[in-house]
Homo-oligomer: A and B are copies of this chain.
């Protein structure tokens, strides 16, 4: 592994951690995988299909999301929304995120 690979890797790890929270937050509004991917991309968070789709299934399996398979606009899509449990967890997770941002602010300024 070269140096720049390692740096690329750090950036990936940095982004990876926030994907779940971003997805949970955006799925306050019902959306299907592909549209969520586009939405995240617009926000500046590029996520591969091979990352996002399994992630959504995982979060559904963990009970933080719910999904339904429907045909809309002539096309079958799996729609995801945040579940009751997810909705209840979200404020705590946002607070946790705020804490991390504050903590990193201190660490990085040193």
Contacts and interface: CB of A to CB of B under 8 A. Distances in A.
Interface of A: 1, 3, 5-7, 9-11, 13-18, 20-22, 24-26, 28, 43-45, 59, 61-64, 85, 89, 92-94, 96-97, 99-101, 103-104, 106-108, 110
A17 B14 contact: yes
A16 B15 CA distance: 11
A5 B61 CA distance: 12
Contacts of A9: 62
Contact of A43 (B1, B5, B17, B106): B106
Nearest to A59: B6
Contacts of A11: 93, 96
B21 A18 contact: no
